[in-house]
Amino acid sequence: MDILDRLELEHPLFQAGLGGGLATADLAAAVSRAGALGTIGILSPRRMFDELQRAQQLAPGKPIAVNLLLPFTRRQHVAACIEGKAAAAVLFFGFDREIVDRFHASGIVVFHQVGTAAEARRALADGADGLIAQGREAGGHLLGVMPAHEFLREALEVAGGKPVLLAGGIATAADVKAALGAGATGAVAGTRFLLTDECRAHPAYKQRVLGATRTLETELFGLGWPARHRVVPNEATERWCAGDPRGPLWVRRVHAVSRLTAKLMPMAAGALMTGRQRLSIPLYGPTAPLVGHPESVLAVAPLYAGETARSIKSVVAAGEAVRLLTALS
Query: pLDDT tens digits for 170-228?
Result: 999 999 999 999 999 999 999 999 999 999 999 999 999 998 999 999 999 999 999 99
Query: What average pLDDT does the segment 126-137 reach?
Result: 98
The DSSP secondary structure of 41-95, one letter per residue, reads PP--HHHHHHHHHHHHHHSTTS-EEEEEEGGG--HHHHHHHHHTT-SEEEEESS-
The more confidently predicted of residues 263 and 155 is 155
Q: Are residues 231 and 154 in the same domain?
A: no
Q: How buried is 85 (Cβ within 10 angstroms: 0-12 exposed, 13-18 middle, 19+ buried)?
A: middle
> What's the CA gap between 225 and 23, in Å, rounded?
19
Q: Are residues 29 and 172 in the same domain?
A: yes
Is residue 267 in some structural domain?
yes
Residue 111 has pLDDT above 90, yes or no: yes
- Per-residue pLDDT at 271 exceeds 70: no
Give the model confidence (pLDDT) of 285-326 as tens digits: 999 999 999 999 999 999 999 999 999 999 999 999 999 999
Question: Are 41 and 113 contained in the same domain?
Answer: yes
Query: Distance between CA 133 and CA 140 in Å, rounded?
Result: 14
Q: Do 20 and 158 lie in a common domain?
A: yes
Q: What digits encode the pLDDT tens for the residues 144-181?
A: 999 999 999 999 999 999 999 999 999 999 999 999 99
Same-domain status, 42 and 74: yes
Could you tell me if residue 211 is inside a domain?
Answer: no
**Are both 14 and 42 inside the same structural domain?**
yes
**Above 90 in pLDDT, residue 273?**
no
Residue 208 lies in a domain: no
Q: Looking at the predicted structure, is the pLDDT value of residue 270 above 80?
A: no
What value does the mean pLDDT of the chain take?
Answer: 95
- Do the domain assignments include residue 151? yes
Judge whether 210 lies within some domain. Answer: no
> In 190-233, which ranges are E strands?
216-218, 229-231
CATH number at residue 156: 3.20.20.70
> Are 284 and 220 contacting, i.e. CB atoms less than 8 angstroms apart?
yes
Asked whether residue 251 falls in the same domain as residue 157, the answer is no
What is the pTM assigned to this prediction?
A: 0.95
Stretch among 131-140, 159-168, 275-284 having the lowest mean pLDDT: 275-284
Q: Which residue range forms the structural domain that includes residue 251?
A: 216-304
My answer on whether 259 and 110 are in the same domain is no
* pLDDT attached to residue 3: 74
Residue 152 domain-assigned (yes or no): yes
Residue 260: pLDDT band (50, 70, 90) is confident
- Judge if 44 and 165 occupy the same domain: yes
Q: Are residues 135 and 263 in the same domain?
A: no
In a domain, 205, yes or no: no
Do 182 and 246 share a structural domain?
Answer: no
Q: How many domains does the chain have?
A: 2
Together in a domain, 64 and 174: yes
User: What is the model's pLDDT at position 77?
Assistant: 97
**Residue pair 173/160 in contact by the 8 Å Cβ criterion:** no
Q: Would 207 be classed as within a structural domain?
A: no
